[in-house]
Amino acid sequence: MQVPILKQGTYLIAVVQPDLSDRDLVDLRDALVERVGRHRSTGVIIDVTALDVMDSFASLTLSNLASMIRLRGARTVIVGIQPEIAFTMARLGLTLKGVTTALDLEEGLAYLGQSDPRSS
């Protein structure tokens, strides 16, 4: 199942679905890295609110994704990590080093320099 990628102004927003396979995640990574260049985006937001598990592969892929996006000249924010998942991740040492995280989509947009999501 493909993860939909929305274009909002100069940002790309990907909303991850609950049942996300490793394959989907890799596809998402490839698609985002490609489309950042195509749309000349300055920021990428990945919303993982619906995700109820975050394993080592997922967090490594997200980390790599953030690094790749940076090399392509944009910033990445991961938003919507649930409190329980956050603590489990911390315990497993999956701390998404070097990746910016924010509470939710609104916060992510605010971080990327757009405090009002309506203006686009």
Partner 1 sequence: MTTETNKLQPRKGSGAPSGESLRELVAHLRQNRTQLRDEWAKRITASKLMTEMTAAEIAAEATSVYDNYIEALESGTLEALEAYARSLSERIIPRGVETHEVVGIVLLLRDVLARSLINSDHGSFDRLNAILDAYEPAANRIVITVAVGFVQERERTIREQQDAIRELSTPVLQVRDRLLILPIIGVMDPQRARQLTEQLLRGIRANRAKVVVIDLTGVAAMDSNVANHLVLTVEASRLLGAKVIVTGLSPEIAQTLVNIGVDLTKMTTVGDLQGGIEEAERELGYKVVPSDDVVAAT
Backbone angles phi, psi at 15, to 5 degrees: -105, 110
Nearest approach in angstroms of CB 64 to partner 1 is 17
User: Does residue 81 bind partner 1 (CB under 8 A)?
Assistant: yes
Among 28, 45, 102, 105, binds partner 1 (CB under 8 A): 102
Among 26, 31, 33, 96, binds partner 1 (CB under 8 A): 96
**What whole-number distance in Å separates Cα of residue 112 and Cα of residue 60?**
22
**Nearest CA among 72, 69, 70, 57 for reference residue 26:** 57
Stretch in the footprint of partner 1 (CB under 8 A) among 31-39, 64-72, 99-107, 112-120? 99-107
**Look-up of token digits 């940002």:** 11
**Nearest CA among 83, 81, 63, 79 for reference residue 112:** 79
User: Does residue 117 bind partner 1 (CB under 8 A)?
Assistant: no
Count CA within 13 A, CB hemisphere, residue 100: 19
What Rg value do the Cα atoms of the chain yield, rounded?
13
Among 31, 42, 86, 117, binds partner 1 (CB under 8 A): 86
User: Does residue 27 bind partner 1 (CB under 8 A)?
Assistant: no
Stretch in the footprint of partner 1 (CB under 8 A) among 4-12, 19-27, 78-86, 112-120? 78-86
Q: Which residues bind partner 1 (CB under 8 A)?
A: 79, 81, 83-87, 89-91, 95-96, 101-103, 107
